[in-house]
Structure 1
Amino acid sequence: MSLILAPGTAWTDVFDRVRAAVPEAVAGDRLRNLYGGTWHDGGVPADLRTPVDGSLIAEVSRVDAGTATGAVRAAAREHRDWAATPLGERKARVAVAVEALTAHRDLLALTLVWEIGKPWRAACADVDRALDGVRWYLQQIDRQAAGREPLPGPVSNIASWNYPMSVLVHAELVQLLAGNAVVAKTPSQGGAVCLTLAHALMTRAGLPVTLLSGSGDELSEVLVRAPEIGAVAFVGGRSNGGKVAAALLDSDKRHFIEQEGLNAWGIWDFSQWDLLAGHLRKGFEYGKQRCTAYPRFVVQRDLVGSFLDVYLPVVKSVRFGHPLAVTAPGEPLPELDFGPLISAAKAGELRRKVDEAVRGGAVPLHRGDAAEGRYLDGQDIGAYVAPAALLAPPGRSRLMHAEPFGPVDTIIVVDTEEELLSAMNASNGALVASLAVDDEELGAKLAQDVQAYKVGINRPRSRGDRDETFGGRGASWKGAFVGGDLLVQAVTLGGPGERLYGNFPDYTSCPPTP
C-alpha cells in the first residue's frame, strides 16, 4: 500500500508556521538564543536533523561558555526583579503564557512529531500534560508558596529530548510561579524548535526565561557551577547525571537529578492475564523512550508459558512507522505505538546491544524487522527499530543491567521470591516498578524490598501529574524529590533548618506517593 505525507504536515509547512508565529526567534533556518530578554544571533551553526526521515530541518547556534556566562548573569538580574514581583502578578503572566501555548498547541505537537519522532497522539499528550499541569499549579500556588521565598538565583534546567513540554516547560513554568527566573539548555538531540516556539511565547507574556543551545561539555560548567545559579534540575542518563552531581559536590546548591534506571515488572502467583495484556500494549508507547518505561519482566518459572501466551501476541502486533504517513488526503493521522528512535546512531547502538546479547546466549523470543513499519516510498528508515524480546540475557550483556531506551524487552525467569527481588533490583535503583500478583497483600510486602520510588500493584506507575510526587531510589536519582507540593518546595526557601524530602547521602525520605 502506497502512503503519502498528510497534507499540511510537511516540515517546510510546519517551520513556516513557526517563523510566522515567532519571527523574532528565527533567522532564516537558524534558531536564535534567548537571554537578557532578547533573541540573539551568533554562535557556531549546527544542523538539526529529524529522525523521521533523516532530513535537515533547521540549524541551532551553539554558544560558547563565555556567552553562557553572560546569559546566566543577565538571568540573575532578571531573577532579582522577578523574585520581588507579587505572586498575583506572577500568576497573571504565567496564565497569559499558558493561554498562548494553548493557542499554538497543534503547532507545538507537530514540531515534536518531526523533531523527536513522536506519533501525533503522544505529541499532543506531551503538550496537553504540560499545560494541564501548570493550570493545576496556578490554582494551588497561593497555598504552596505561603511562608516561602524564591531561591537566591535562577533555576538552571538541563533536560533530555524526550519530553520537552511535559517535563521541561512544565517545570520551568512552575519554577517561574514560585518566583524564580529560569535558564534552559536545548537538548542536543531534539526539541529545539518546539522549545524555541514555547520560550518565545513565554517571553511575550513577560516571563524571565533564558534558552541556550550549545555543547553540554562546554556549557555544563557554567549552567551547573556558576555562582549566580540557585538550583540545578537535570533529566538524563546516569553518565551525564553523574558529571552534574560531581560538579555539585562542593556546592550547597539545590538540585534534583533524575537519571535512568531499569524499571521492572515482577510477575508472581498471578492469573489476571487479560488485565496485564492491556498494560503491555500501552507500555510500548513512544518506543519505550521514556524514563518510566518497563523494559524488564521478571517471571515466576511456573507462569512463563501463560505470560508468553499474553505477551508475544502483543509484541508482534505493535504498530510503528512514519508518524505522518497516510493512505489518502483527509485520512486521520495513524494510530501508531511509536515512530523512530531519536537518531539513526541510537538505533544502530540498540541493534548492536541486541546482537551482543544473542551472541552471549540470550534467546530471541521475537525480533521484528524494521522494514515492516509504515513508511513513505523510498524514505530513510535508519532510525527505526522493530520490537524485540529476549529471554535470559547473559550477565555480561549491557541489556542485563541498563535500560535500553528503545522497544527491546528482556525476560528473566526466577524460582523464588528472593530471586524475583534480586532481578528486579538489577540496576541499583529505579524510578518505577510494578508487581503482578493475585494477593495484593503479598504484593505490598514484596514492594517494600523493590528499589524503586513508586511501585504499582497490578498497574504501571508513571511520573504522575499535578499533586503526585516523583523521585528515584539508589542511583536513579540524586537530590530533592519533585512533583506536587514538593516541586514548589524544591525551588523555594522555607524556615531555618528546613530539610527537603529527597535522595540525599545522609537523608532519604519522602511523603506517601498516591
Structure 2
Amino acid sequence: MLAQPPAHAPAHAVVRPSLHIAGAWRDGATRMDVRNPYDGSLIAQVACATPADVDDAIASALVGQRAMAALTTGERAAILHRTADMLAADAARFAAMITAETGKIIRAATKEVSRAVNTLRLSAEEATRLSGETIAFDSFPGGETRHGFYVYEPVGVIAAITPFNDPLNLACHKLGPAFAAGNSVILKPADQAPLTAIMLAELLLAAGLPADALNLLTGRGGDFGTALVASPDIAMVSFTGGARTGETIARAAGIKRIAMELGANAAVIVAADADIGKAADACASGAFWAAGQNCIGVQRIFVHQSIYAAFRDRMVATTEAMVVGDPMDPATDIGPMIAVGEAERMAAWTDEAVALGARVCTGGRRDGAIFPPTIFEQAPPDARIVRQEAFGPIVSLFPYADLDDAIAAANAVDHAIHAAIFTASLRDAHHAARGLQAAGVMINDSTDYRLDAMPFGGARRGNMGREGVRFAVREMSHTKVVCFHEG
C-alpha cells in the first residue's frame, strides 16, 4: 500500500512507507528522493531510517530469529519456493523497476530477475540439505563409550547491506541463504536503489515469512549504519560494496562474523592462439555490461603482441556497434551510470589517463549520466584506470610477450575476484589458473560470468567469506556438537 504524498512533497512523488519494522510498514521523519538515472525524473520518496529505528528493528529481528529457528527446513524451503514462484510471475514489473532506479538496460534487468528466481530456488533446496554428520568419537582412546554427531544452527540476526548494481539478485543472495539457515535479517538496500528491495520484501512476507524475520531500513547509511553493525545483538554483517565502506564497517562491527565482497579490478589474458573474434566480443560484453558497474567486469586486457592489433580493432568495432541510450528500449546495449557524478568521475579518470600518455581508441565523451563504452591503450600503470577499480564502462589494452609476465601484471592489484584467459592450449590454461591470484579463473570466457550456485568472493586484500548459495548458507550457520556418553 502507498501512502499519500504530504503537502511538502512534489505532486508527482510516490511516497513509500519504506521502513519494515516489527511486522509493519512505517514512514520516517525525513525522506530521500529516488531518481531515474537516465532522465533524472523522480520515481519515489522513501523514509530515512534513524538509530532509533535500528533499535526497533533489532528488537523485532531477535523475535523473528526465534520464529525462523522454530520452522522446519521444509517450511523454510516452502517460503522461498513460493517467493520464487511469485517473483517469476511478476518478472516484468520487477525488471521495469530495476531499470527505472538503476539505469540498467531492460534486457539485463530481465536477466537479473531470472537469476534472482534461481537464487531463491537454490536457497530453498539448500534449506533441506543443511544436515551435519556423525562423529567417530572412538577414533581416539577415551572415546570408546561415546557417540554423537554435529548439526548446523543459525547464527542469529544478520545485517545485510546491498549495492545498487544488482539490487534484486544480490539481495536474494543474502536473504535466501540467511532464511534457509534459520536466521532473521535486517536489510539495508543501496541508497540509490531501495525500491526493488521493498518489492522483494513484500513478496517474502506474502509468501509466509514470519513478519519479524525481515526488517528493512531505507535511507542514508551514514545516518544509522554504525548503530546497526556495531550492535552486539547483530551476529553477522554481510556487505557487498566498496572497500572504503567495508573498512568503516569492519572497524565499527567489532568481534562478529563479517562477510564482505569489496570489488575488483578484473584482468583477462588473450593468448596468441586464442579465437580473436570470440575473445574480443566476450571482453566487450564483459567490460560494458551494466555500464561497467560490475565487480567482475573486465577492466584490463593483456593481449599477446602477435595478435594485439587484430584484437584491438575487432574489440573497437564490436564496441562501436553497441547502442547507447534509453535503458527501457530493448535495442539499447549501454544505459546510464547510476548518477551524473559517476559519469563525471569516469570523464576525470579519462582526462588523467590521456594526460599521462594513454590513447583513447573509442569513447571517452560524457553525455549527462551516460559515459560511453571506452577503450584505452598505452595507459601507464599509475593511471587510476589501471590501478583502481573503475566500476564504469572503461577497459585498457596491453600487449605482452611472455605469459608469466602477463600473469604477474594481472596480479598487480589490491582487489581480485575473477580473472580469465582465452587460449587453445590446455597447458597454458592450467598454468594461468594456477598463477592468477583470483577466487575464480574463467577459461575462454569473460571474467563477468557467474553461476549463482558457485562459490563467489574475493581473493586478495579486504575480502572475506563466500557467497554462492550453498557456501553462504554455511557462512550463516554454526555447528553444534552432540555427544552421548554411554559409560
Q: Bin the TM-score by the shorter chain.
A: 0.7 to 0.9
Do 1:151 and 1:230's aligned partners in 2 also have CA atoms closer than 8 Å? no
User: Out of 322, 342, 345, which is 1:346 matched to?
Assistant: 342
Secondary structure of residue in 1 paired with 2:424: coil
Q: Which residue is 1:168 aligned to? A: 171
How far apart are residue 392 of structure 1 and its match?
A: 2.3
Secondary structure of residue in 1 paired with 2:453: coil
How far apart are residue 304 of structure 1 and its match?
A: 1.4
Q: Which residue is 2:383 aligned to? A: 397
Q: Which residue is 2:10 aligned to? A: none
Do 1:24 and 1:39's aligned partners in 2 also have CA atoms closer than 8 Å? no
The 3 A distance-change label for structure 1 pair 256 and 493 is: same
CA distance in 2, matches of 1:110, 1:91: 28
Mapping of residues 15-414 of structure 1, within 5 Å: 22-23=1-2, 29-32=14-17, 33-146=19-132, 148-190=151-193, 192-207=194-209, 208-248=213-253, 250-251=254-255, 253-283=256-286, 284-324=288-328, 333-367=329-363, 369=365, 382-414=368-400
How far apart are residue 419 of structure 1 and its match?
A: 2.6
Secondary structure of residue in 1 paired with 2:419: strand
Do 1:137 and 1:466's aligned partners in 2 also have CA atoms closer than 8 Å? no
Residue 199 of structure 1 aligns to which amino acid in structure 2? A
The 3 A distance-change label for structure 1 pair 39 and 271 is: closer
Deviation digits for residues 292-344 of structure 1, max 9, x if unmatched?
110111122233112213211112112111122xxxxxxxx422222100001
Secondary structure of residue in 2 paired with 1:477: coil
The 3 A distance-change label for structure 1 pair 421 and 271 is: closer
Residue 292 of structure 2 aligns to which amino acid in structure 1? K
CA distance in 1, matches of 2:60, 2:317: 56
Residue 438 of structure 1 aligns to which amino acid in structure 2? A
How far apart are residue 464 of structure 1 and its match?
A: 2.9
The 3 A distance-change label for structure 1 pair 43 and 465 is: farther
Do 2:76 and 2:127's aligned partners in 1 also have CA atoms closer than 8 Å? no
CA distance in 2, matches of 1:99, 1:64: 34
Secondary structure of residue in 2 paired with 1:143: coil
Is 1:434 the equivalent of 2:420?
A: yes
How far apart are residue 247 of structure 1 and its match?
A: 2.7
Deviation digits for residues 277-296 of structure 1, max 9, x if unmatched?
33134222211211111011
Mapping of residues 416-431 of structure 1, within 5 Å: 416-431=402-417
Q: Which residue is 1:376 aligned to? A: none
CA distance in 2, matches of 1:476, 1:408: 24
How far apart are residue 70 of structure 1 and its match?
A: 1.9
CA distance in 2, matches of 1:63, 1:261: 30
Secondary structure of residue in 2 paired with 1:469: coil
The 3 A distance-change label for structure 1 pair 358 and 36 is: same
**Matched length:** 454
The 3 A distance-change label for structure 1 pair 89 and 438 is: closer
Do 2:297 and 2:447's aligned partners in 1 also have CA atoms closer than 8 Å? no
Do 2:281 and 2:315's aligned partners in 1 also have CA atoms closer than 8 Å? no
**Mean Cα deviation higher: 116-125 or 223-232:** 223-232
Deviation digits for residues 431-490 of structure 1, max 9, x if unmatched?
101012231212211221211110112212446334311121112622x22214212111
The 3 A distance-change label for structure 1 pair 354 and 466 is: closer
Do 2:119 and 2:173's aligned partners in 1 also have CA atoms closer than 8 Å? yes
CA distance in 1, matches of 2:215, 2:478: 22
Q: Which residue is 1:506 aligned to? A: none
Is 1:493 the equivalent of 2:478?
A: yes
Secondary structure of residue in 2 paired with 1:334: coil
CA distance in 2, matches of 1:94, 1:81: 15
**Mean Cα deviation higher: 343-352 or 307-316:** 307-316
Q: TM-score, normalised by structure 1?
A: 0.83
CA distance in 2, matches of 1:418, 1:429: 20
Residue 196 of structure 1 aligns to which amino acid in structure 2? I
Mapping of residues 465-504 of structure 1, within 5 Å: 465-475=451-461, 477-478=463-464, 480-495=465-480
Residue 227 of structure 1 aligns to which amino acid in structure 2? P
Secondary structure of residue in 1 paired with 2:28: coil
How far apart are residue 26 of structure 1 and its match?
A: 9.3
Secondary structure of residue in 2 paired with 1:302: coil
CA distance in 1, matches of 2:225, 2:479: 28
How far apart are residue 359 of structure 1 and its match?
A: 0.9
Do 1:175 and 1:491's aligned partners in 2 also have CA atoms closer than 8 Å? yes
Deviation digits for residues 75-111 of structure 1, max 9, x if unmatched?
1121112112222222222222222222322111111
Answer with 1 or 2: which has the greater Rg. Answer: 2
Residue 202 of structure 1 aligns to which amino acid in structure 2? L
How far apart are residue 496 of structure 1 and its match?
A: 5.6
Residue 79 of structure 2 aligns to which amino acid in structure 1? R
How many percent of aligned residue pairs carry the same amino acid? 26
The 3 A distance-change label for structure 1 pair 387 and 464 is: closer
How far apart are residue 162 of structure 1 and its match?
A: 0.7
